[in-house]
Copies of this chain bind each other. A is one copy, B any other.
Amino acid sequence: MGDVAQRLAGIVGEQHLLTGDRISDDYAGDESLVGPPAKPAYVVRPATADEVAAVLTTAAEHGVPVTARGAGTGLSAAARPRPDGLLVSFERMNAILEIDTTNHVAVVQPGVTLSELDEKTAEKGLGYTVYPGELSASVGGNVGTNAGGMRAVKYGVTRHNVLGLQAVLPTGEIIRTGGKIVKTSSGYDLTQLIIGSEGTLALATEVTVRLHPRLGHGATVLAPFSDFDQVMAAVPEIVSSGLAPHILEYIDAFTMAAITYTAQLSLGVPDDVREASQAYLVVGLENRDADRLDGDVETLGELLSGLGASDVYVLDGTAARKLIEAREKAFWTAKAAGADDVIDVVVPRAAMPEFLTRAREIAAKSESGVAGCGHAGDGNVHLGIFQKDPDKRANLLHDIFAVGMELGGAISGEHGIGQVKKEHFLELEDPNKIALMRRLKQAFDPAGILNPGVLFD
């Protein structure tokens, strides 16, 4: 065993240091469709913040690059380790430490999965409202990517639902930020800075998340539109209505066909309506009161008809659940259909029609395909990219990202930059901001050990 391995084994215990063949393929990457996975030189599975601190100190001393890993469901290769590097897997730090029903927070270890947290908080009538499509994701991974998901239109993204952290700095110190408090103006907000930093600034070893009361009644409404622009124009109207939907998704006709086919799901949309539909809106409403919910569903139906929906379907519980699940699995469907990448540009809500039109024009010109769905309420467009040639694909992505930014948006709404969008990020983003971000990185991580190759070169 080498010197580094010996030190690491001394910290986490021999059975929790993996090297060579003991490292399974799983640890070689996340769910990004781009680029080859890469097995690291070492995997450690620490059990405590102190162990994480000792691991980082060792890595810094030996100049070993460190990548944090939650569940590896990320889509930007931000959890893909370096071949010469060390992967810190949080799989053993997966306890729910506390569900505090008075302050409405949970304190969890970073490796806890969203499905487990969902189950345990449900027992108390509360919930952590970050629902990316993949509930095997971990809370620590949410912190890494600033994950969003379908409920963000009402409840915000990870940034709005994480109140505090225990975090290990790459220099080995363990700090606590924020807490069971919804606000503070007492120095720089380190919590917010670490959230979304894709494992490049600090590793979260404990997370205090906000919980919301679960509302007892919910309904899912499906509205096909024969005109794509009308779908997009409907979105801000629904947001303005005050109905406060917790789901507001669009699904283009191609994607709807694919996901319903994959899920063997029949939604009761007659053939003629389906054939004439360019896209669909899926709107979720919830209320503490059944009558109020019924009233809201009716209001929403009228609103949607007035906005050009060909029809309005209130889905029954099973169909609704299946449609939402199928939508969550859209990524797998795109992957199975041969998508070469999946991107998630965010633009101002009102700019979605222009963004989509221009993205499709760009794709058509390079004989590529784009199709998708998205968190319409957030202006977040998820597009599967179909183009095998890497150079053509790089040009295509560059042009689509450039349009998104020109329209006042950003390259990624929730998946992050990671390794796979870095080239475009560094090229398209203001160099003054990049330089400032590099100085911030330096302030946290002078030895540059945390996730080199992610965000920056």
- A residues adjacent to B (C-beta < 8 A): 100-105, 145-148, 152, 156-157, 159-160, 169, 173-177, 179-190, 192-193, 195-198, 201, 213, 215, 236, 239-242, 288, 292, 346-350, 378-380, 408-417, 425, 429-430, 432-434, 436-437, 439-444, 455
| Complex interface: chain B residues within 8 A of A160 (CB) | 156, 160
| Further pairs besides A175-B433, A181-B408, A184-B409: 8, Cβ < 8 Å | A105-B348, A175-B436, A179-B408, A181-B379, A185-B413, A190-B433, A213-B240, A443-B443
Q: A148, B192: Cβ atoms under 8 Å? A: no
| Complex interface: chain B residues within 8 A of A242 (CB) | 213, 215, 288
Bound together, the chains give a CA A146 to CA B189 distance in angstroms of 10
Bound together, the chains give a CA A189 to CA B425 distance in angstroms of 14
Distance in Å: Cβ of A361 to nearest Cβ of chain B: 22
Distance in Å: Cβ of A450 to nearest Cβ of chain B: 13
Bound together, the chains give a CA A456 to CA B417 distance in angstroms of 33
Bound together, the chains give a CA A418 to CA B122 distance in angstroms of 41
Q: B443, A146: Cβ atoms under 8 Å? A: no
| Complex interface: chain B residues within 8 A of A411 (CB) | 186
A-B contact pairs, 25 of them (CB 8 A): A146-B185, A156-B183, A159-B192, A169-B436, A175-B433, A175-B436, A179-B410, A180-B349, A180-B408, A181-B346, A181-B408, A181-B409, A182-B378, A183-B413, A184-B346, A186-B416, A187-B425, A187-B433, A187-B455, A188-B441, A189-B193, A193-B193, A292-B292, A436-B444, A440-B443
Q: B410, A103: Cβ atoms under 8 Å? A: no
Bound together, the chains give a CA A448 to CA B301 distance in angstroms of 57
Q: B169, A183: Cβ atoms under 8 Å? A: no
Q: B159, A189: Cβ atoms under 8 Å? A: yes
| Complex interface: chain B residues within 8 A of A410 (CB) | 179, 181, 184-186
Distance in Å: Cβ of A10 to nearest Cβ of chain B: 24
With beta carbons under 8 angstroms apart, the residue of B185, B409, B416 that contacts A412 is: B185
Bound together, the chains give a CA A440 to CA B147 distance in angstroms of 25
Known contacts A103-B349, A439-B443: does B192 contact A152 (CB below 8 Å)?
A: no
Q: A187, B429: Cβ atoms under 8 Å? A: yes
Distance in Å: Cβ of A68 to nearest Cβ of chain B: 16
Q: A187, B437: Cβ atoms under 8 Å? A: yes
Q: B183, A378: Cβ atoms under 8 Å? A: yes
Distance in Å: Cβ of A294 to nearest Cβ of chain B: 13
Bound together, the chains give a CA A146 to CA B437 distance in angstroms of 22
Distance in Å: Cβ of A313 to nearest Cβ of chain B: 25
Q: A183, B103: Cβ atoms under 8 Å? A: no
Q: A409, B179: Cβ atoms under 8 Å? A: yes
**The 3 A-B residue pairs with the shortest CB-CB distance in the complex, in nearest-first order:** A439-B443, A192-B192, A180-B348
With beta carbons under 8 angstroms apart, the residue of B239, B349, B412 that contacts A186 is: B412
Q: A379, B182: Cβ atoms under 8 Å? A: yes
